[in-house]
Structure 1
Amino acid sequence: MGYGNQPYIVFKHKNISREHLHIVSLRVDEQGRKINDSHEYDRSMSVLRELERKYDLHPSIKGEELTDKVELHRVNYREGNVKQQISSVVRLCLRNYKCSSYGELRTLLERFNVSVEERTGIVDGRNYAGMIYGALTDDGYGIGTPFKSSKIRKDVGYDTLQKYYGKSKATLKEGGALDRLRQIVRDAMSLRNTRDEFRQLLKADGINTIFRINPVGRIYDVTFIDHEAGIVANGSVLGKEFSTNVFNELYPAFQKEEQHTVEPDRERWHEQRRSAANSLSGIVDTLLDLADARAYEEQQRIRQRKRRQKRRML
């Protein structure tokens, strides 16, 4: 960067929870000449990415210097910095868990108060696909304004997630990958248990069970989250003996259960939200992307004009 022989100060910033370093140097060398700052941002980002690759560091994001948290925590809207909380949760989930479908990822993220929606459509004859992330309250309702995956980065976008699902699916098909989870679930399945007792047995082995239930109390989806193995698997992925029909026979709708499931009204809220969003998603998101592109192009034109004016002055 041209500052190697310059005097500098390194300052450790500790008065906020995120400790970090500032490096302050001089732009004028000992001969009184200004150090070249042409394309400084691009050059600094190139150095940064090289350091990240060399030392296996977590990628940094412009405007979001806080790297991913070491441990997964639920998003807390009241704490602020919601976008960073959500991006941290999403990245850590993708890094530490294997989900072979959008439904499984959605179920996982909801455990950490993050909503995710696929938005697809056709605009001007072209297919459009994107992801929308948002914060949830502890009881599962949306709070605040959701935002597009592009506001985080491509590594949580639609195309990247498709590759992630495929890679996860291939890994889970490897011999023995699901054996432990299948056996633990199989051992807990019993006519003598209630639905809640079944969940508690699995929870003791570090496995969350999420039943999705319709308004009349019938199970229409079951997903298991094995936190120890980092696996999220729908019952259909485990096999026919773990299908929703089997669980409906084991735990019929008339059983009185504690509300640890996805409640019907909450699920209807999700479905209504997704339905309304998908009907407009292609048009709205494409227009937003076009606006972003035009704003960027205009910004680039302004910068080019300023550079030309500066050269003429010199």
Structure 2
Amino acid sequence: MIAKIGRSSNLYGALSYNQIKVEKERGEILLLNKMIESSDGRYTVVQLLRSFEPYLINNRNTEKHSLHISLNPDPKDRVNNELFCQIASDYMNQMGYGAQPFIVFKHTDIERGHIHIVTVCVDENGKKISDQFEKIRSMSVCRTLEQKYGLIAPKDKKNSRNEKIFRPVDYRAGDIKRQIASVIRHLPEYYQFQTLGEYNALLSLFNITTEKVDSNLQGSSHRGLLYIPLDEKGQKAGHPFKSSLFGKNAGLASLELHFAKGKEALKDPRRKNKIKVIISAALRPADDEASFKKQLLDKGINVVVRRNSTGRIYGITFIDHTSKAVFNGSQLAKELSANSFNEYWNNDIKTDVKEPIVQQHKTAVSNITELHEVEPHHWFDFLSMDQNRGDLLVALGGLLPEAQGEDYEEQDFTNRMKKKRKNTKGMR
């Protein structure tokens, strides 16, 4: 079980965030501790605030008086409402907040069941309750509760190498924003790419694309990015989402920094030579596009081909899941460019691919030669001739952090609270 503790001076915001979930039937109130209860079991944010007013009035000097805690069991844990209440009470008692008024909300809008607890960290006399070594104590309490209630410890997840969690976007499944968020949040942490086109090639495996937006408002130019879901044929399948909805790391400015780092990291000719050798070995015996892609897929490389309305190939990108590098064909060699593949697959004109020029070091020659006989990485043992790109990305869940069940709205709320605190400090 993972506990996340947030502190702020905005008690109303924390209560509103959770109460809105309840009103939209995406959450429910499980437990009230030392709170004023209503006769019909229904509450407003103002009603909930009344239970905390005496504590806030007596608050002496604590700026961040509000606590917003989330307790997140493993998705495999089967936790009913009664057990959630016991866990919440035990956690609050052991953390020193058992005598405080607090309210426990259960969120039901994502697959991973979890609870949120809202309280204040000043006692009835206005004195701050100690938060010394809070994170260490919280981790210790979580381990104790896991043993007491038979919950799965977070470290157990590391042993599930082939767990299939990270999935492409399914526009029919609903909640597309959260699906997109769970993908784009992690990809730049693991893959190196140099252009927006290469980023789009990688995203296309997850049924996502982006579009750049340039606008001029009141004499100021603004650049932005839109994220758009795709169907199985690569066609747009829903309305676009502004990158700002997913945090600054999903925006154009952050991605351009990532492009620059990618260009520097991928300058090493040895990295290009390695993937070029594998591609060359797959191209020579391949009779068509399908067999070429299959051979590379067996080596852990996806091929993304872009065609115009007439069928002409205008772009080809290679995504190496072993080295986590993305290359446009023209970056590797002229004979691996989109034009060359267009001539080969559309006009049956095959171009000989030149062997990479290897540096003088003997070890480098040995490494390049061995790549022709490299075995598929164990991440790709599941692949077979008839599996499609969706199957690949489902299994790639083992390579990436767990994404299913992430509450991106929760993270967005936390980020907004932090931003608000910074702005408030700036006005003083």
The alignment's TM-score, normalised by the length of structure 1, stands at 0.62
Q: 1:75 touches 1:113 (CA, 8 Å); kept in 2?
A: yes
Q: Distance in 2 between matches of 1:219 and 1:27?
A: 62
1:191/1:250 contact within 8 Å kept: no
Describe the SS at the equivalent of 1:251: helix
Out of 83, 93, 103, the position equivalent to 2:177 is 83
Q: CA deviation at 1:11?
A: 7.3
- Residue of structure 1 equivalent to 2:277: 183
Q: 1:121 to 1:70 in 2, by over 3 A?
A: farther
What is aligned with 2:98?
7
The count of corresponding residues between Structure 1 and Structure 2 is 233
Which residue of 2 is the match for residue 252 of structure 1?
346
Q: Which of 1 and 2 has higher RCO (CA within 8 Å, sep 6+)?
A: 2
1:224 pairs with 318, 321, 325, which one?
318
Matches within 5 A, 1:257-272: none
On the 8 A contact 1:114/1:136 being kept in 2, the answer is yes
2:346 is paired with a residue whose SS is coil
Question: Counterpart amino acid of 2:125?
Answer: R
The residue type equivalent to 2:97 in the other structure is Q
CA distance in 2, matches of 1:6, 1:189: 65
Counterparts of 1:217 and 1:195, CA distance in 2: 13
CA distance in 1, matches of 2:218, 2:115: 48
- For 2:304, what is the secondary structure of its paired residue? strand
Q: For the pair shown, which has the larger CA radius of gyration, 1 or 2? A: 2
Pairing 1:98-177 to 2, within 5 Å after superposition: 98-177=192-271
What TM-score comes out, normalization by structure 2 length? 0.47
Partner AA of 1:213 in structure 2: R
CA distance in 1, matches of 2:107, 2:164: 18
- Structure 2's unaligned 5+ residue stretches are 1-63, 68-94, 129-133, 139-162, 350-387, 390-418
Q: Does 1:243 align with 2:337?
A: yes
Q: Is contact 1:113–1:138 with CA below 8 Å preserved after alignment?
A: yes
Separation (CA, whole Å) in 2 of partners of 1:232 and 1:163: 16
What secondary structure does 2:271 align onto? coil
* Whole-Å separation in 2 of the counterparts to 1:92 and 1:71: 13
Residues 1:33 and 2:155 are matched in the alignment = no
Query: 1: CA distance between counterparts of 2:254 and 2:273?
Result: 28
Residue 297 of structure 2: aligned partner: 203
Q: Whole-Å Cα distance in 2 between the matches of residues 194 and 170 of structure 1?
A: 34
Instruction: Provide the rounded CA distance (Å) in 2 between the counterparts of 1:193 and 1:129.
Output: 44
CA–CA distance in structure 2, aligned partners of residues 191 and 246 of structure 1? 16
Q: Which runs of 5+ in 1 are unaligned?
A: 37-46, 52-68, 262-295, 305-314
Q: Which amino acid aligns with 1:229?
A: S
2:270 match: secondary structure: coil
CA contact (8 A) 1:171 1:177 kept: no
Aligned partner of 2:260: which letter? G
Q: Considering only aligned residues, what root-mean-square deviation do their CA atoms show, in Å? A: 3.9
Q: Using the TM superposition, name which of 128-137 and 69-78 deviates more.
A: 69-78
After TM superposition, give the deviation of residue 211 of structure 1 in Å. 1.8
Residue 210 to residue 26, structure 1, CA distance change in 2 (3 Å): closer
3-state SS, counterpart of residue 237 of structure 1: helix
SS of residue in 2 equivalent to 1:117:
strand
